[in-house]
Structure 1
Amino acid sequence: MNINTLCIHGSEDKSHCTGSVSVPIYQTATYVHPAVGQSTGYDYSRVQNPTREQLEITLAKLENGVDAMAFSSGMAAVTAMMELFKIGDHIIASDDLYGGTHRLFCSISEKNGISFDFVNTSEASKIAEHIRPETKAIFIETPTNPLMKVSDIAAISAIAKQHGLFLIVDNTFLTPYFQNPIDLGADIVVHSGTKYLAGHNDTLAGFLVTRTAEISEKLRYIYKTTGACLAPFDSWLVMRGIKTLAVRMEKQQENAIRLANWLCQHPKVRSVYYVGLPTHPDFEVSLKQSRGFGAMISFKVDSEQTAIQLLQRVKLVLYAESLGGVESLITYPMLQTHADIPKEEREAKGIDETLLRLSVGLEHIDDIIADLEQALA
């Protein structure tokens, strides 16, 4: 089934005879047992809920995985995933990560006895240099947040398999519409469902999608035990969002390509980070492993004063955290998404006072450009 069709029809609940086109919201915490030792298949909503189950079936289909688990947020999903590891384990991770993931790894996971090496995973050859006997996994974002580096998933998968490591890929920016990491060798795919999957800035959600039943069984046990499952109403909201994922991603990408090219010509813009530009150093890798480039752009302006002026003057583009919704959002990573990373470390990565991150929405592109033009004047 074509992915455009799957987005619309992947969540149809045919187990009931009401004829409802929309999957019902099963707003219940518990379920009646038919008799002693018997179950309807649902016992307690922390373990499974029919609404959430349909969403998980859809995500597994979209990512070509065997299973998907829906969590209360993207960070809840990553936190549960980290329970696969134990004291003494070592993980290699992309050195340009979403600030919340970096914070979790450095303030929670390290406290729990797990160590990390942060590596530029867009250079796959550097990964092997950091593998040691206690290494258990490679965790990558591609494209990364906020500098839009692209990692070669298939090449890294070959390294992971050679050394018996899990490969975990955060696919939030491109979504399964543009990229399928499991097809390229990933073992676990992570999503912040809050972003493009839900698509309307109205709910939080997170997902883990697995390549094998063995990994799924381990994560389902952790999921049931730790309990950060997605509520029925939020599951319904994400399902509703996914129905328009294909058309949203196509239009937002179209806007992003035009906006990235406009930014490249602006006299106050010094650098533009967008994987859809042929000048991007990882452009060829993107062409090889993805069906599109997405709608996330980061750019540097000529001064801190210009950055602050832009944030204070925008009217249509909203100065807010998050991304992936129908509204265009602009973020100041050094103060928002990456504020908890030490200043020297952050600036060494290029996340400084002049860097802005833009999630391009569905407004008319001429209006987006006009707003940024007046804000940069």
Structure 2
Amino acid sequence: SHGDEVWVADNIYGPNMEHLRNLEQRYGITVQVYNPIDATSFQPSEKAKLIWLEAAGSVTLEFPDLTALVKKAKAQNILTALDNTWGAGLAFNAFDFGDEHLSVDISVHALTKYPSGGGDILMGSVVTRDQHLHHQLFRMHAIQGICVSGDDVAQVQRSLASMQLRYEHQAQSCIELLNWLKLQPQFAQVLHPADATSAGHTYWKEICRAGHSAGLVSVIFKPEYDLAAVRQFCDGLSLFKLGFSWGGPLSLVMLYDLKPMRHLEHTHLAQGILVRFCIGLEHPADLIQDIQQALQHLPNP
């Protein structure tokens, strides 16, 4: 409603921020930004109605302080909504997590990714255990005329049977790449929640107790490699295809300039162009070899 306040993480999925800025202009809501790894930056006013969480961030992969953020929101009767696409309902339970068995109010998934299995369906889900919230969401769903194809639903249902197997395989392959990437001199920083040097690692250990993580890893090139050089690296990849999304059978790569993407100042991120690798079902040794040969395309700094 007009005048309501919505809080979003600074590492939010880009199109979500774009959508919120549009709603801000059209409907008179206020969008506030917080640092997901610093719960003290979440300072809601009495007008705050919703905090949007993302675990982990889809590009820089910080794992948020879910416990502190959710507790703070609930203490002030603020709705909590979590983009749980990264965890896929497997890394942790959004409705029962941590020592205090906390729960978010709404869990959102991009079914396009791990659930679909093929990365060729555009679909999402919004899940809540609250009956009143369910009726509110269902009513808005009907008003907006949102619907999905029965064939797409059937394909997602069919792929769910193999989702855990695929998730675990891609996660393990990603860890192998993570360990190799950390040894490469071209990178100033490697980002993955399971790595002890990555922001939010402690919160990841607290919530994802079985050590689960998605098949995403990002690297930040050293500053001497400019955007043109990093594009040359991406063009040199063969198994990794250039594209958005993740969670499908094919490995994907995408490069980002972080400067226009962030609203807050972050000291935990190195300066440089970021490249995110989405790990598919290929053999990790083949993926490592592909990155290794593409690094040879980099010009001398």
Report the equivalent of 1:117.
32
Matched, 1:343 2:256: no
Deviation of 1:353 (Å): 6.0
**Change beyond 3 A, Cα 1:376–1:347:** farther
Larger radius of gyration: 1
**Change beyond 3 A, Cα 1:175–1:126:** same
Q: Report percent identity of matched pairs.
A: 26
TM-score, L = length of structure 1: 0.72
Report the equivalent of 2:198.
280
Quick check: 1:256–1:360 contact (8 Å CA) kept in 2?
yes
Deviation of 1:351 (Å): 9.8
SS state of the match for residue 137, structure 1? Answer: strand
Deviation of 1:125 (Å): 2.1
Deviation of 1:238 (Å): 1.2
Name structure 1 gaps, 5 residues minimum.
1-85
Residue 212 (structure 1) aligned to one of 108, 119, 130: 130
TM-score, L = length of structure 2: 0.89
Quick check: 1:177–1:245 contact (8 Å CA) kept in 2?
no
Report the equivalent of 1:187.
105
SS state of the match for residue 175, structure 1? Answer: coil
Quick check: 1:298–1:356 contact (8 Å CA) kept in 2?
yes
**Equivalences for 1:76-225 in 2 at 5 Å?**
86-127=1-42, 130-183=43-96, 184-225=102-143
Counterparts of 2:291 and 2:285 in 1: how far apart (Å)? 10
Matched, 1:228 2:146: yes
Matched, 1:368 2:287: yes
Quick check: 1:333–1:351 contact (8 Å CA) kept in 2?
no
Deviation of 1:174 (Å): 1.4
Deviation of 1:257 (Å): 0.4
**Change beyond 3 A, Cα 1:345–1:123:** closer
Q: Deviations over 1:21-59 (max 9, x none)?
A: xxxxxxxxxxxxxxxxxxxxxxxxxxxxxxxxxxxxxxx
More helix by proportion, 1 or 2? Answer: 1
Report the equivalent of 1:333.
256
**Equivalences for 1:222-301 in 2 at 5 Å?**
222-290=140-208, 291=210, 292-301=212-221
Report the equivalent of 2:274.
355
Counterparts of 2:145 and 2:65 in 1: how far apart (Å)? 34
Q: Deviations over 1:83-114 (max 9, x none)?
A: xxx11100111011111001001123442111
Quick check: 1:120–1:126 contact (8 Å CA) kept in 2?
yes
**Change beyond 3 A, Cα 1:345–1:256:** closer
The alignment of Structure 1 onto Structure 2 pairs a total of residues equal to 284
Report the equivalent of 1:63.
none
SS state of the match for residue 100, structure 1? Answer: helix
Equivalent residue letter for 1:312? D
Aligned residues: CA RMSD: 1.9
Equivalent residue letter for 2:288? I
Deviation of 1:333 (Å): 2.8
SS state of the match for residue 199, structure 1? Answer: coil
SS state of the match for residue 288, structure 1? Answer: helix
Report the equivalent of 1:57.
none
Deviation of 1:207 (Å): 0.8
Deviation of 1:301 (Å): 1.4
Q: Deviations over 1:162-197 (max 9, x none)?
A: 101001110111110112212132000111111111
